[in-house]
A and B are shown apart, each in its own frame.
Chain A
Amino acid sequence: MGLSLGEYLRGLLTPFNAAAGLILLAGFPAIGYRFARGLGAVTNLSQTNPWGLWIGLDVLCGVALAAGGYTLASTVYLFGLKQYYPVLRPAILTGFLGYFFVVVGLLVDLGQPWRIAYPVLYSYGVTSVMFLVAWHVFLYLTVQLLEFCPAIFEWLGWRNARRWAARLTVGATVFGVILSTLHQSALGALFLMAPARLHPLWYSPFIPIYFFVSSVIAGLSMVIVESTLSHRIFRDQVDPRRHLDLDAITFGLGKAAAVTLFTYFFLKLLGVADGGHWDLLNTPLGRWFLVESIGFVLLPSFLFAHGVRERNGRLVRAAAAVSVLGIVLNRLNVSLIAFNWDVPDRYVPSGIEVLTSLTIITLGLLTFRWVVNRMPVLREHPEYREVP
């Protein structure tokens, strides 16, 4: 590219690269140590708390925040709202990489990665919800790869393969929506098996529905957050005409998020009423529940509505950020904070657990950047303009 090696290396010295490099430098040996010495040596997990940060953050949050892929794919291909096409590919990429690194996180948590194929090939534990989750993630990861294949083939210049991949897109989307609906709720269904362990305000027979509805919110909000950041960070990649669409797209997604959050708030209220736990609202965890439900559900709903009404893109983007934080908070509440809430042996993640999670997230961000800088994700490939 006309740069000397020294100039090239100096160009790589950005604050993000430096931070990412340091995290990976410390994180890879930590992951190696986990595989060499086992969970007991590196985590604060126990028989009482068998699931920790890796499941709570890397898996539950990762899957919810990757929901932008199926949300946008169904918006464009199933509901026919083609005006959202400009943000579809980055959403599918975010979804695919989100799921891929969920699997990486699971491998670190489960250990023995060479046995990953067991639930699919050898050992059918059909009575286990985990079996369901394994199959869902396996199938949905494959479907998302299929959905992203047109971009890969355009990059490689494989015209015939691209044509076939594009033909499969609608079928893959339909299959993907079914799988997502099932497994976003299946992750919630896992907690149906632990009614006594989860705080009554978070536990509800409706929890699979909560997980599914909140994944739609996470998907819509993540697309707003991700497209805003991408259009700033990868500005040179974006066709100027695509900038034009972004505000209109943001308002459309914001409107959908406002309605979904509003509905989700009342669904949560129904859960409290169904359990008859109004008295628990005036306890420390009850107040924490209100912080989540009002501060991170009802408030962003009104922020979205006000932002859309005033055509204030900045407010809609801020609402999306609050909403994403709210989903993360909800998943951490369900899996860590309100889980085993009444046992004396409270779980606090170890330094290595935090470092491992940071390493996996950093790997996800670096992979996203690598793909966006090479494949037609934010820009259209000149030879495939206007081809959906």
Chain B
Amino acid sequence: MIPHDLLTMASTKAAEYLIAVAFLLLFIPFWRFLNAERVPGRVPTAEAPGWIGRMVDWFLVPDGIYFHPGHAWAMVGEGGLVTVGMDDFAHKLVGRVSAIRLPQVGSRVGQGETGWNLVRDSKSVDMLSPVDGTVVAVNDAVSTSPELVNRDPYGEEWLLKVRADRLPANVKHLLSGAPARRWMEGVCEDLRALMSPDLGRVYQDGGLPVDGMARALDPARWDAVARMFFLT
């Protein structure tokens, strides 16, 4: 038992205060370490062989790319520069479009807010940006010749380059790797649930999805179908 004289108590209390101060001081770097989540660096380009075989049903879901549930993707490059596009599913859902309206260079986009707009048959559908940041480049080849889109969704058909300023926070709401493939499995389930027997041999019977699945599902209200999947 410790004698509770003043000196003993003072040294005990001093040790306790020191521990409390040490905790507070050490907690700062610990918290910073914990929150400085690393974001994978540059990932393989479209030509990399790893992309083959990353199919979920009929849709390509490559590793190393972050997917937004609204079917946009983000690929992290050097210095926080993020390449953004629409995923293989989105391409196949909407099919050939007559115009893609991209934001202007220098404008800001926000995660989960409208990033760009697809036009077909005088109807338009918004898509959501997967990250926050400033647009530093747009793909003119895609915006001027949208009819050519549908060949390389994760490569040449990128839409924006964004200087992302909240990337670690943004990627928490994005999916990659196995979780992304499981998410796409769920999307495919939802797609199957929408299909009716009179649609013909497109998917449930083992057929390839048609180009422009939304129009095949509901020619009059294809934009509503697309919005449902794009969360807009």
Contact = CB atoms under 8 A, between A and B. Distances in A.
Max chain B CB contacts within 10 Å: which of A239, A251, A269, A310? Answer: A269
A150 to B, nearest CB: 24
Contact of B38 (A240, A269, A270, A309): A309
B8 interface: yes
B33 A244 contact: no
A311 B16 contact: no
A247 B36 CA distance: 18
Nearest to B15: A273
Interface in B158-189: 172, 175, 178-179, 182-183, 185-186, 189
B23 A240 contact: no
Contact of A310 (B12, B27, B31, B38): B38
B22 A266 contact: yes
Interface in A213-269: 239-241, 243-244, 246-248, 251, 255, 258-259, 262-263, 266, 269
Contacts of A342: none
A275 interface: yes
Interface of B: 2, 8, 11-12, 15-16, 19-20, 22-23, 27, 30-31, 33-38, 172, 175, 178-179, 182-183, 185-186, 189
A171 interface: no
A246 B27 CA distance: 28
5 contacts: A241-B186, A247-B178, A259-B34, A273-B15, A276-B12
A45 interface: no
B23 A266 contact: yes
A303 B11 CA distance: 34
Contact of B182 (A243, A269, A311): A243
B34 A273 contact: no
Contacts of A311: 37-38
Given A244-B175, A273-B12, A305-B33, A266 B38 contact: no
Given A266-B19, A270-B16, A311-B38, A276 B8 contact: yes
A244 B27 contact: no
Contacts of A309: 33-38
Nearest to B176: A311
A242 B33 CA distance: 29
Given A305-B34, A308-B37, A309-B36, 12 more contacts: A240-B182, A240-B185, A243-B179, A259-B34, A263-B23, A270-B16, A276-B2, A276-B12, A305-B30, A305-B33, A309-B33, A310-B37
* Interface secondary structure of B, over-half rule: helix
Contacts of B35: 309
Q: Which 10 A-B pairs have the closest CB atoms?
A: A241-B186, A273-B15, A266-B23, A243-B182, A305-B34, A244-B183, A240-B185, A244-B182, A276-B2, A273-B16
Contacts of B37: 308-311
A236 to B, nearest CB: 14
Contacts of B15: 273
B182 A270 contact: no
A270 B14 CA distance: 11
A44 to B, nearest CB: 31
A63 B20 CA distance: 29
B145 to A, nearest CB: 35
B23 A241 contact: no
Contacts of A275: 2
B18 to A, nearest CB: 8
Interface in A364-383: none
Contact of A244 (B8, B23, B36, B186): B186
Contacts of A310: 37-38
Given A273-B12, A305-B33, A309-B36, A244 B179 contact: yes
Contacts of A244: 175, 179, 182-183, 186
B30 A262 contact: yes
Given A266-B22, A305-B30, A309-B33, A241 B38 contact: no
A385 B194 CA distance: 18
Contacts of B34: 255, 258-259, 305, 308-309
Nearest to A278: B15
A263 B24 CA distance: 10
A263 B182 CA distance: 36
Interface string A267-287: 001100111100000000000
A255 B31 CA distance: 10
B196 to A, nearest CB: 20
Contact of B12 (A241, A248, A274, A308): A274
